[in-house]
Amino acid sequence: MGWKELYLKEDWWAIWLGLGIVIVAYLFFASGSSIRWIAVTPSKWSSFDQLANDFVKKIPQYLAQFCMWLAIFSASMKILGHKLSEFIPSFIFVYVFSILIIILGAWKYASTYTLEPPLVALVLGMIISNFIGLPRWMDTGFRVEYYIKTGIVLLGATLPFTLVIWAGPTAIFQATIISVATFLTIFFVGRKLGIDPRLCATLGAGGAVCGVSAAIAVGGAVGAKKEDMPVAIALVVIWAIAMIFFLPLVSRMLGLPTGVAGAWIGSSEFADAAGFAAAQAYGGYAGQVAGITGTSEQSIQAFTLMKVVGRDIWLGIWAFVMAIIATTVWETKGGAKPHAGEIWWRFPKFVIGFMLASVIMTLIAANYTMADFNKEVVPVLVSPIKNLRTWAFAFCFFSIGLTTRFRELAAAGGKNFLAFSAGATLNVILGFLMSAVVFYQFWANLGQ
């Protein structure tokens, strides 16, 4: 594919869309205006009268925003080869439910009843997909990865690049220890149980690096059996969904600061989309649940540093190393030797957009004192971008639920389950020790 991936891969489209929004937002800001109007979200509410008044008043804004998302996603989906006759009705469905989910999250008592938008979106989606069912063609609009990657690029504009530079090395150090330990555990337990080494490597990457994306990258690199890929995918999905609920729940029981919980989730949740659901849910407890200190952004920031910077960016290297081992040790490959270019081509490119957005906002911030930045820039530039990020994440979390059909997942088999679970369990324990014991102060005070 080569450089055609600039318009044939979701990663690049997420960059174009995310950075496009950031640049447009800046142009409005520089001309004395703001994209605030179209980046609408519901106001906090505690009675139905308040909710109704706020919603009716903002209907034109919701319509305009819907048209904006529809236009930019439709154009890219068409180029990616999807039918707009399928995408458009499906996206309308996603948007309408996202409004309801975000409105519920704006309820004053939402956190009290654990009605955090990510968890509500996920559960609602899973109920619809597993108990009601939707036509298969509607999957065209349930683009989990596309939405989360777009959201991550937008997230970059709210995360100072100085923080990435300052906290990145610690995140990489912690994530590397956990990733290597998890991978080796899954691999060697799997081998001990007699599992094919290619499947062991695929399972190991899924549990140690970045979930299904790592599994498909390493699976292709080592030449996994066709029937083994759905097994790896099923194990990652089941564990990842369970962790979305488990990690915030235990963190809440332990009263972990948001930054610490975010780092733990970033260490122990496999998939970006699932992890952001858990981290955003926990961040929602900040200031709402007694005993939980920190800010909602700290949870997201710690998760992002640990997962995106600490784990995702190394995926190409994992795949390259595994390809070399497959070729030289397992002899499963043909005449093609692995080439180092694979490290770049398998690199999750959306991270570039995330970094660029962070750099752009940091350069803008450099012209202001902290007080002036918070007063003049945040309300008209940063907050609207953050609002649009909230929407992109809502589309993603609802889509995770809608595409997770448990009866369709492959039967994993006892040995595969055992090997993967051994690594996943170690991952959770090590992630907790590193985040909540070894680097507790670091993550608890992140960005302060």
Partner 1 sequence: MPTVQHKCLNCRHFRNDPQYLESVFKGMSSLSSGHASVRMDDGICKLREQYLSADFLCDGYLPFDATGN
Mention every residue, 6+ apart, whose C-beta is less than 8 A from residue 318: 183, 205, 209, 214, 217, 218
The smaller minimum CB distance to partner 1, of residues 26 and 345, is found at: 345
Nearest Cα residue to 185 out of 445, 425, 423: 423
Report in angstroms how near the CB of residue 8 gets to partner 1 at its nearest. 8
The smaller minimum CB distance to partner 1, of residues 104 and 352, is found at: 352
Report in angstroms how near the CB of residue 217 gets to partner 1 at its nearest. 4
The smaller minimum CB distance to partner 1, of residues 212 and 286, is found at: 212
The smaller minimum CB distance to partner 1, of residues 203 and 212, is found at: 212
Amino acid (1-letter code) at residue 378: V
CA dihedral angle for residue 321, residue 325, residue 327, residue 332, rounded to 10 degrees: -120
HSE value, Cβ hemisphere, 13 Å, CA-based, for 388? 34
CA distance 278 to 304: 12
The smaller minimum CB distance to partner 1, of residues 54 and 139, is found at: 139
Q: Are 294 and 286 in contact (CB under 8 A)?
A: yes
The smaller minimum CB distance to partner 1, of residues 39 and 281, is found at: 281
Beta bridge partners of residue 10, listed in sequence order: none
The smaller minimum CB distance to partner 1, of residues 36 and 405, is found at: 405
DSSP run (H or E) holding 355: helix 350-365
Report in angstroms how near the CB of residue 49 gets to partner 1 at its nearest. 39
Q: Which two tokens stand for residue 285?
A: 């407890």
Report in angstroms how near the CB of residue 418 gets to partner 1 at its nearest. 20
CA angle 389, 355, 79 (to 5 degrees): 65
The smaller minimum CB distance to partner 1, of residues 94 and 382, is found at: 94
Q: DSSP 3-state assignment of 12?
A: helix
| Packing angle, helices 161-192 and 197-205, rounded to 10 | 150
Report in angstroms how near the CB of residue 201 gets to partner 1 at its nearest. 12
- Give 121-154 as a 3 state SS string: HHHHHHHHHHHHCCCHHHHHHCCHHHHHHHHHHH
The smaller minimum CB distance to partner 1, of residues 6 and 106, is found at: 6
Q: Which two tokens stand for residue 100?
A: 């309801």
Report in angstroms how near the CB of residue 274 gets to partner 1 at its nearest. 6
List residues binding partner 1 (CB under 8 A): 1, 5, 8-12, 80-82, 139, 142-146, 210-217, 219-221, 223-230, 233-234, 236-237, 240, 270-271, 273-274, 315-316, 319, 323, 333-336, 339, 342, 345-350, 400, 403-405, 408-410
Q: Are 127 and 119 in contact (CB under 8 A)?
A: no
Report in angstroms how near the CB of residue 420 gets to partner 1 at its nearest. 14
**Furthest-apart CA atoms within the chain: distance in Å:** 70
Report in angstroms how near the CB of residue 405 gets to partner 1 at its nearest. 8
CA distance 95 to 58: 15
Mention every residue, 6+ apart, whose C-beta is less than 8 A from residue 292: 252, 255, 256, 257, 258, 285, 286
Report in angstroms how near the CB of residue 289 gets to partner 1 at its nearest. 28
Report in angstroms how near the CB of residue 128 gets to partner 1 at its nearest. 14
Q: Which two tokens stand for residue 417?
A: 């389950």
Q: Which two tokens stand for residue 163?
A: 């923080």
The smaller minimum CB distance to partner 1, of residues 121 and 256, is found at: 121
